[in-house]
Amino acid sequence: MLNAQIIHDKQGKPEYAVIPYELYLSVLASLPYEPDSDDDVTLPHEVVGITVEQNVSLQAAWRIWRGLSQQEVAEKLGISQSAVSQLESPDSRPQKRTREKLAALYGCQPEQLVQYR
């Protein structure tokens, strides 16, 4: 059974559905991603908050948000923990294939791992 809260408009018609956050994440992850050159890259508020509060790169913020250690990421990618640390340095510009692997691991799009200045 789906535990959703329905919010109605003034006429009583359903307008919004509030669903559990984990379900929202799984629905979001299942959507096809079709990049559009006119679209801006957006980031979850939590990821932005981590980058600001902990003064870390986007790669590190995504890892932290997903609850992974550098060692766990290293094992999943088949690289060393020190290589993950280098990827997370503020000046790091991971190659496209590396960004794709990280994005798959973190449940985001590769474009969301690019640190813009």
pLDDT higher at 12 or 4: 12
Confidence grade of residue 20 (pLDDT, cut at 50, 70, 90): confident
pTM to 2 decimal places: 0.66
Residues 92-108: what's their mean pLDDT? 92
Computed over every residue of the chain, the mean pLDDT equals 85
% of residues, the chain, pLDDT over 70? 84
Question: Average of pLDDT values for 58-63?
Answer: 93
pLDDT above 60 (res 117): no
Class of domain 45-113 as given by CATH: mainly alpha
Across residues 39-45, what is the average pLDDT?
80
Q: Would you kindly state where each structural domain of the chain is located, as residue ranges? A: 1-32, 45-113
- What per-residue confidence (pLDDT) applies to 17? 86
The residue among 117, 116, 115 whose CA lies nearest residue 61 is 115
Distances in whole angstroms, Cα of residue 34 to Cα of each of 8, 31, 37, 49, 94: 31, 9, 10, 26, 21
State the pLDDT at residue 30.
58
